[in-house]
Amino acid sequence: MPAMRQIGVPVMAIVLFLAFWEWLVWINGWPNYKMASPSDIWPAFWQYRGLFLLYGWETLWRTVAGLALAVVVGTGLGMIMGFSRIVRDGLYPILVGFNAVPKATVVPIIALMFVGQHDMNTILIAFLISFFPIAVSVSIGLSTLEPEYRDILRSLGASRFTIFRKIALPKTLPEFFGALKVAVTLAFIGTNLMEIVEPHGKGLGHLFDSGKINSDYPLMFAVLIALAFLGIVLYYIVVFLERTFAGWAERAET
Amino acid sequence: MTAPAQIELRHVTHAYRTAAGPLPVLDDLSMTIAHNGFCAVVGPSGCGKSTLTRLVAGLMRPDAGDVVLSGHPVTSPRANVGMAFQNPVLLEWRTILDNVLLPLEIVANRMDKAERRDRAMSLLSLVGLEGFENKRPSELSGGMRQRASLCRALVHRPEVLVLDEPFGALDAFTREDLWQIMHELRAEEAFTCLLITHDLREAVFLADQVIVFSGRPAHAQYVQEVDLPKERTLEDLYSPTASDMLHELRHQISVAQGRDGPGNAGKGAVV
């Protein structure tokens, strides 16, 4: 029964959504350059299925690589800021500034900096756009640790590292995973930004761009659906990891 | 097992450095808690009672004066102290049993895994938490969490138990249950206890000695030896001896708050 609810209900919702979409296009008589309907999109998928697999894989692995970099750097920065007030006060304005710069403007700069290194450029943008929430939430998680937690262990003579490993690290995990869910979608935006703004013949962004150039509107919509699908897959992988490593933070249903 | 310590504070003075200049919290505080003794400290809010717990636990050092445990000056945290606070601060990702075992993972000891478990389980059954050892803290009530926190404070057989308002956030009846449990723990375990509290009945019910702190900066304004039998029931709190003690302590608190002169006991302290 719970499996029915966890899988059946979302699938049902998707089916209803697609039906509503189809109906909306049909009732308004929209041509496919204004709004493609699900029945236009499927043939586009099928026609380019080989390209979707190839480009989807390129987008996926580069997004995951950027995300992995964001996790490592974001967690590191968050830890430093969480433990040292001085570093936090010093770094925050810089990080906020970094985050405030629209990444679309950074794309050409990165592309010029590392001409021709498309994979690295794309990973770099995915990383730049997604490390901020991770750094902030890890630093907040660590700096809001109640002093009593530390005192319990410190009064026993525990080292700073022991306190970090036994208390601070596990206690920050729920915040970390919350940020990772945001970072997953951001990283996708970063990857596609690079693929669309500086097309280099790789990834779903390139497929989108060629759809635009050839006025193949159903293809453009199909790319959007493919991106949404990849985003959902990655998001639920994070949810699965969260349940495994920080499931204790989830309250039982009452 | 080590013997419970004697706690001695000699002319302890301490101030916190704040943006508005030094904030003196303790002023020439001297007090002694006997081996295996139970001392309750009461006083107005913000009078430096929590500072006292941090000094005794070795988490900080006073500006002047000495904190001495069984003849050895306290200069850094030592494993022979157990602490419990108003907030039980259990680790939500661990079971109750694993929470209680935490100090044994830090403090050097010769117990093997089974011995540690037995030690924790015997404490848990003493406080009535048998059968809850595999639950998470979020599944327990406030009173039960606080009992688990007491077990954690005692599992490594500390010489000194420092309690900073551990029952302050509980409802009146749960609090009384925990007072009884404190007596049971004291009958089974050997430790010298420093209890910080706002509750005068709690102080009289649990302690051998109640010290009233003056307002900030604090010194020991008044010391009350509690002449009640060692085995106490809640009934004893309604005896004339207890009433007189509570009355005098209430008066001393008013004096500490600066609301009453020193000689007005029995004339209706203003609250």
Mean pLDDT value of segment A57-69: 94
- Is A156 in contact with B79 (CB distance < 8 Å)? yes
At B68-127, the pLDDT tens digits run 888 888 888 877 889 999 888 899 899 999 999 999 988 877 788 888 999 999 999 988
Mean pLDDT value of segment A207-219: 88
* pLDDT(B2) > 60: no
pLDDT of residue A160: 82
Q: What percent of chain B has pLDDT over 90?
A: 18
State whether residue A151 is helix, strand or coil: helix
For an interface test with A, the pick among B51, B69, B91 (most A C-beta atoms closer than 10 Å) comes out as B91
Helix/strand/coil percent split, chain B, to 5 = 35, 25, 40
Helix/strand/coil percent split, chain A, to 5 = 85, 0, 15
* pLDDT(B266) > 50: no
* pLDDT(B211) > 50: yes
At A157-208, the pLDDT tens digits run 888 888 888 888 888 898 899 999 999 999 999 999 998 888 778 888 889 9
**Hey, are the CB atoms on B107 and A149 less than 8 Å from each other?**
no
B213 to chain A nearest CA, in Å?
23
Nearest residue to A174 (alpha-carbon basis) of A237, A244, A231, A127 = A244
pLDDT of residue B269: 40
**Pairing mode of beta strands B160-164, B81-85:** parallel
pLDDT of residue B267: 45
For an interface test with A, the pick among B69, B86, B89, B138 (most A C-beta atoms closer than 10 Å) comes out as B89
Contacts of A167 in chain B (CB under 8 A): 91
- Band of pLDDT at residue A124, cut at 50, 70 and 90: very high
* pLDDT(A3) > 80: no
- Kindly report whether the peptide bond that precedes residue A38 is cis, defined as omega within 30 degrees of 0: no
pLDDT of residue B260: 66
Contacts by residues A181-184 (CB-CB < 8 Å, ≥ 24 positions apart): A181/A235, A181/A238, A181/A239, A181/A242, A182/A133, A183/A67, A183/A70, A183/A71, A183/A74, A183/A130, A183/A131, A183/A133, A183/A134, A184/A67, A184/A130, A184/A231, A184/A234, A184/A235, A184/A238
pLDDT of residue B271: 40
Alpha-carbon distances of A66 from A61, A70, A75, A112, A121, rounded to whole Å? 9, 6, 14, 19, 10
Nearest residue to B81 (alpha-carbon basis) of B21, B160, B15 = B160
- Is A42 in contact with A103 (CB distance < 8 Å)? no
Written as six digits, the tokens of B33 are 């808690």
Alpha-carbon distances of B73 from A193, B53, B67, B146, B174, rounded to whole Å? 64, 15, 6, 30, 37
Q: What percent of chain A has pLDDT over 90?
A: 39
pLDDT of residue A12: 92
Phi, psi of A114 (to 5 degrees): -120, 70
Phi, psi of B219 (to 5 degrees): -135, 175
The rounded distance, in Å, linking the Cα atoms of B82 and B97 is 17
Region label for A54, one of left (φ > 0), alpha (ψ between -120 and 50) or beta (otherwise) = alpha
Q: What mean pLDDT value characterizes chain A?
A: 88
pTM of the model: 0.78
pLDDT of residue B153: 92
At B60-81, the pLDDT tens digits run 888 888 888 888 888 888 778 8
Mean pLDDT value of segment B169-173: 85
Q: Is A148 in the B-facing interface, judged by CB distances under 8 Å?
A: yes
* pLDDT(B212) > 80: yes
At B180-204, the pLDDT tens digits run 888 888 888 888 999 999 888 899 8
- Is B44 in contact with B19 (CB distance < 8 Å)? no
Q: Is B136 in the A-facing interface, judged by CB distances under 8 Å?
A: yes
Alpha helical stretches, state H, chain B: 49-56, 96-106, 113-126, 142-154, 172-188, 200-206, 240-256
Mean pLDDT value of segment B214-227: 83
**Hey, are the CB atoms on A156 and B85 less than 8 Å from each other?**
no
A157 to chain B nearest CA, in Å?
5
Closest Cα in chain B to A148: B89
Q: What mean pLDDT value characterizes chain B?
A: 85
Mean pLDDT value of segment A82-99: 88
pLDDT of residue B268: 42
Phi, psi of B142 (to 5 degrees): -60, -45
* pLDDT(A14) > 50: yes
- Is B135 in contact with B174 (CB distance < 8 Å)? no
